[in-house]
Structure 1
Amino acid sequence: MLGSLFYTLHVLGAVLWVGGMAFALLALRPALAPLEPPQRMLVHEGALKRFFLIVWHAMPILLLTGYALLFGWYGGFRGAGWHVHAMHLTALIMAGIFLALFTGPWKEFRAARAAGDLPKAATAMDRIRQLVGMNLVLGLLTVAVAAWGRFGG
């Protein structure tokens, strides 16, 4: 029963994080293109602020439930399949990228927006887009690995 709860929380955390990145890059960003830069930056700031709050909750839940499943279900790394090892690696890389994004370009973006420096804010936003794009690719790869490996592939 507890394993099912951990697995459900794990999957929901992944859906929120990976789905949120896909929405931000594939739907929100293109939809904002017609807006003037100041309005576009304002919407980006509001949306990313909310999304990053979700990631700050989803990321630890993913990591903690992943370790709980790893040690409670598989008995540790030795008992885990290749897909679990791959998910572990990509999860740590994704968490590192998010932390770098949050403490670097996101901080720079917010400071530039507050100072009214739109070119600097745009540069920081482009770096955020690149890092979110990297994490989206890693997240989709992780989902594919999880689905493939789950059935012994």
Structure 2
Amino acid sequence: MLPNLLNALHVLFAALWVGGMAFALLALRPALAALEPPQRLALMAGVHKRFFLLVWHAMPITLLSGYGLLFGVYGGFRGTGWHVHLMHLTGLVMAGVFLFIALVPWRAMRAALAAGDAPAAAAANGRIRTLVALNLALGLLTVGVAAWGKMG
């Protein structure tokens, strides 16, 4: 029963994290063109605040449930295939990228908005977008590796 719970948590929170990034970049961002730049920045500040709070929870749950499966079910790295090793690597890189986003450009965007510096806030938001795109690519790679490794 515990392995099923760990697997469900792992898949659900990974899907939430990766799916949220896909929504933000592929649906929300293009739709923002209908808004004026100050409105876009205000909306993105609210989106980032909510989504990053979600990822602060999803990321550790995804990692911890993965470790629970790895060591509690599969007996460690020796009992797993290449796909688990690659998922582990990409998951850790994604976590590092997220931590950087949250601690550097997101903090800079909030400070710029508080100071009324729209150009600096827009620049920080651009850095966030670039890093989220990187994390989305890593997340999609991870999902593909998981699916491929599970079947092969």
In 1: Cα distance, 2:120 partner to 2:43 partner: 17
In 1: Cα distance, 2:137 partner to 2:22 partner: 9
Asked if 1:14 is matched to 2:14, the reply is yes
Equivalent pairs counted in the alignment come to 152
Q: Which residue of 2 aligns with 1:78?
A: 78
In 1: Cα distance, 2:22 partner to 2:143 partner: 13
In 1: Cα distance, 2:73 partner to 2:87 partner: 15
Name the SS of the counterpart of 1:33 in structure 2: helix
Q: Which residue of 2 aligns with 1:67?
A: 67
- Mind listing any 5+ residue stretches in structure 1 that lack a counterpart? none
Q: Which amino acid aligns with 2:126?
A: D
4+ runs deviating over 6 angstroms: none
Q: Which residue of 2 aligns with 1:26?
A: 26
Q: How far off its partner does 1:43 sit?
A: 0.5
Name the SS of the counterpart of 2:34 in structure 1: coil
Asked if 1:93 is matched to 2:93, the reply is yes
Q: Which residue of 2 aligns with 1:57?
A: 57
In 1: Cα distance, 2:72 partner to 2:150 partner: 16
Q: TM-score, normalised by structure 1?
A: 0.98
In 2: Cα distance, 1:101 partner to 1:125 partner: 10
Q: TM-score, normalised by structure 2?
A: 0.99
Q: Which residue of 2 aligns with 1:44?
A: 44
Q: Which residue of 2 aligns with 1:133?
A: 133
Deviations 1:48-96 (A, max 9, x none): 1100011000000001000000011110011111000000000000000
Identity %: 70
In 2: Cα distance, 1:77 partner to 1:9 partner: 20
| CA RMSD after TM alignment | 0.6
Deviations 1:8-63 (A, max 9, x none): 00000111100000000001111111211111001101111100011000000001
